[in-house]
Amino acid sequence: MKNFQQEISDISGWLSKIGADPSGGMTRLLYTKEWVEAQQALKNTFDAAGLKTHFDTVGNLFGRLEGSQYPDQVILCGSHIDTVVNGGNLDGQFGIEAAYLAIKHLKETYGAPLRSLEVLALAEEEGSRFPYVFWGSKNIVGQARKEDVQHIRDAKGIGFVEAMHSAGFDFPAQDQPLRKDIAAFVEIHIEQGKVLETEGKTIGVVTSIVGQRRYDVKLHGEANHAGTTPMSYRKDTVHAFSRICCESIAKARAEGDPLVLTFGKVDPKPNTVNVVPGFTHFTLDCRHTDQATLLRFSQEIESDIQRICAEMGIEVEIDLWMDEPPIPMDKQLVRCVSQLCEAQQLNFRMMHSGAGHDSQIFSPYVPTVMMFVPSIAGISHNPAEKTHIADLNEGVKILAKTLYQLAYTEQGANL
């Protein structure tokens, strides 16, 4: 198998300039000019490699290598083009680069596959601009609903529909049929954790993706003078939040791995030195690989929040806006990838994903498998996000081996 290091550096070099932040990092949000530029640049690149390209109605980009015998059996491979605000240049992007380089290599080396191969640059996964996640993949499998995004807005007040139309895209027609030709979905991604690096592993073969429950919580107390309001009279929402946070984190630690709990955003108001904060908005993110445990634990946290607020005379609103169950990967595809890793004598491990990925959207509908490459120091969603080029190279190589097995061999139909 060829060495892909130079090609990885080349494509990452120009693609990472699109949406690059002057202070470091990258911001490429759904339907922004940076997003449009990146998708169009990828389309031009796919075209130049001899792939047949098209955008679907919402902006997912496909580059197709037609199958010679079973063109209606498609092996789909890729990831998302959008980023978080001031994120790194590997999250999502590497999965697209790797899929493109693997398919290009297979085309140049072996010609047309038996089954069609498609590289996919998904429109959106992160939920960084609008309060909605997996817009790209959910549209492909028919999970996306017009009413869920029709009235949402970004931080600048721009509506989802307005942004979509400005970028040249629209909702699918009501009678537009769903794709029935996808035989498998394959995704490679940086780990975004430090398990592989800590254990000295080159590849992670993902067996399942954790379930996630995300909340917006609003505490309504009473703003008052910081000097003249006795402590016993206060309805201090930061105090209430601090109790909620401390009790919940202690409970999560006692529960143990693989459960994780995060208070990611805290926004008290009026947020000034001499006023008791009468309002606090915070977010809560809870994840686990087992659905029953995830539900039990998160519902306990909800009850604790209600109890603490009742004790302190605080009104509370709890909005569960994401509720994604744990998703297993396809066992046969997992076995296929692990066997290929063994044959290549790669230092790999089986593992679950603690982060959400588009693979969890595809998996209930089509056989799906996912692979990880290590993240240096486990850093992601950060300008410091990096992976050694040698590890990226091994990722492209095992991806190419996987796609060859699925698309170029008769046995691929039975995996």
Distance in angstroms (rounded) separating the CA atoms of residues 373 and 351 = 12
Report which secondary-structure segment, H or E, holds 18: none
Residue 250 neighbours by CB under 8 Å, 6+ apart = none
| Mean pLDDT, the chain, integer | 96
Q: Which of the four pLDDT bands, split at 50, 70 and 90, describes residue 115?
A: very high
**285-313 pLDDT tens trace:** 999 999 999 999 999 999 999 999 999 99
What's the whole-number mean pLDDT along residues 266-280? 97
CB atoms within 10 A of CB 18: 21
Query: Could you give the C-alpha distances from 123 to 236, 372, 382, in angstroms and in order?
Result: 42, 21, 20
Q: Count of residues for the chain?
A: 415
Percent of the chain with pLDDT over 90: 94
Residue 351 clears pLDDT 80, i.e. is over it: yes
pTM attached to this predicted model = 0.86
pLDDT for the residue 411: 82
Residue 127 clears pLDDT 80, i.e. is over it: yes
**13-56 pLDDT tens trace:** 999 999 998 878 999 999 999 999 999 999 999 999 999 999 99
Strand ranges for 298-386 from DSSP E: 315-324, 327-328, 348-353, 368-373
pLDDT for the residue 24: 85
What's the whole-number mean pLDDT along residues 191-209? 96
What's the whole-number mean pLDDT along residues 331-358? 95
Closest CA to 262 of 299, 220, 298: 298
Residue 414 clears pLDDT 90, i.e. is over it: no
